Amino acid sequence: MRRLAAFLVLIVAVAAGAYGVTRYVNSRQPPEDQWTWLRREFELTPAQLARIQALHAAYAPVCADHCSRIMAAQTRLTALIQAGRQDTPEYRAVLDQWEAVRRECNAATLRQLQAVAAAMEPAEGRRYLAMMEPRVATRDHLGPLGVR
Amino acid sequence: MNDRDPELSRVLKSWPHQPAPAPRFNAEVWARIEAARTAPWSAAAVIARAFGIPAQHFRWVLPLGASIALALAALAGAGAGLLQTAHARTDRMAAAYVRTIDPLQMTAGPQP
């Protein structure tokens, strides 16, 4: 019975060791390039990858515009807070502006995801959306100056 | 029962018993004794017997079973490690990818 118990301990130790070594070896591999990962993960053809890269390139200026508008609103909000003017109509107006930009950004990001998904095979596109959309939607908990 | 039954005595005397020739009888008996002595009395031996594996083979049934169990444990551990690493990498890459197209995440700074 003791030999059986010792053997079971050995089995668990071997399994745990193999698990640990595999995780360690894999964690030391260099991170993949974003496009390499996207192509491999969603089995993109060269044509699909080129189409998606073009979509991203077209979206980059829109994204940059949204970024600058968000940062401008955040800067104004920070300045108003530092001046102790949080209860003023001006602060509420900038906050409303920030909220409008946030909604616009969210909608644009989701549209971009759907456009990219449409460039993939239907099944892969659905998997892509299922993987990416929750990561955008979870940003609803953000406030203008950090976590709400 | 009567031990002095003349009829029984007559039948017993007339019973011709001629065992089949077994030139290796002695050696085989000692081989079985040796196998039984060295074979571990274990679940493996019982299972092996249930499958009709002779007793003299018990000595390799147990090490073989143990080796297979260890190999399976190593495979299961490595498989779980690979799956979890792949899952974690996909999660990390997807989060990084969304950060490149979501202005809210870009302006919120690096994520934990």
Residue extents of the structural domains in chain B: 23-107
> Is the CB of A135 inside 8 Å of chain B's CB atoms?
yes
Note whether A86 and A80 are within 8 A (CB): yes
ipTM of the predicted structure?
0.79
- Our CA-based measurement puts residue A104 at a distance from the nearest CA of chain B, in whole angstroms, of 10
Do residues A2 and A60 share a domain? no
Do residues A133 and A65 share a domain? yes
Please give the angle made by the CA atoms of A134, A138 and A140, to the nearest 5 degrees: 135
Note whether B103 and A63 are within 8 A (CB): yes
Q: Which of A18, A59, A67 sits opposite B81 (nearest CB)?
A: A18
Segment A74-120, tens digit of pLDDT: 888 888 888 888 888 988 998 898 888 888 888 999 999 999 999 99
Do residues A80 and A105 share a domain? yes
Do residues A73 and A142 share a domain? yes
Nearest to B64 by CA among B51, B82, B81: B51
Helix A46-82 to helix A89-118 angle (10° resolution) is 170
Nearest to A106 by CA among A147, A85, A134: A134
Query: Within 13 Å, how many C-alpha atoms sit on residue A145's CB side?
Result: 12
- Domain extent, residue A11, equals 1-30
Q: What is the model's pTM? A: 0.65
Q: What is the CA radius of gyration of chain B?
A: 35
Give the residue numbers in B contacting A (CB under 8 Å), as ranges.
Answer: 43, 66, 69-70, 73-78, 80-82, 84-85, 89-90, 92-98, 100-108
Question: B53: which strand partners?
Answer: none
Please report, in tens digits, the pLDDT of each residue of chain B (112 residues total): 556 788 888 888 888 878 788 888 888 888 887 776 665 556 666 666 677 776 666 667 778 888 999 999 999 999 999 999 999 989 999 999 998 888 888 877 443 3
Which of B104, B106, B111 is best to mutate for the A interface (most A CBs within 10 A)?
Answer: B104
- Report the length, in residues, of chain B: 112
> Is the CB of A103 inside 8 Å of chain B's CB atoms?
no
Q: Domain containing A130 — which CATH number?
A: 1.20.120
Nearest to B58 by CA among B29, B28, B37: B37
Do residues A47 and A113 share a domain? yes
Do residues A137 and A90 share a domain? yes
- Report the length, in residues, of chain A: 148
Q: Burial level of B13, CB count in 10 A (0-12/13-18/19+)?
A: exposed
> Is the CB of A75 inside 8 Å of chain B's CB atoms?
no
Do residues A11 and A80 share a domain? no
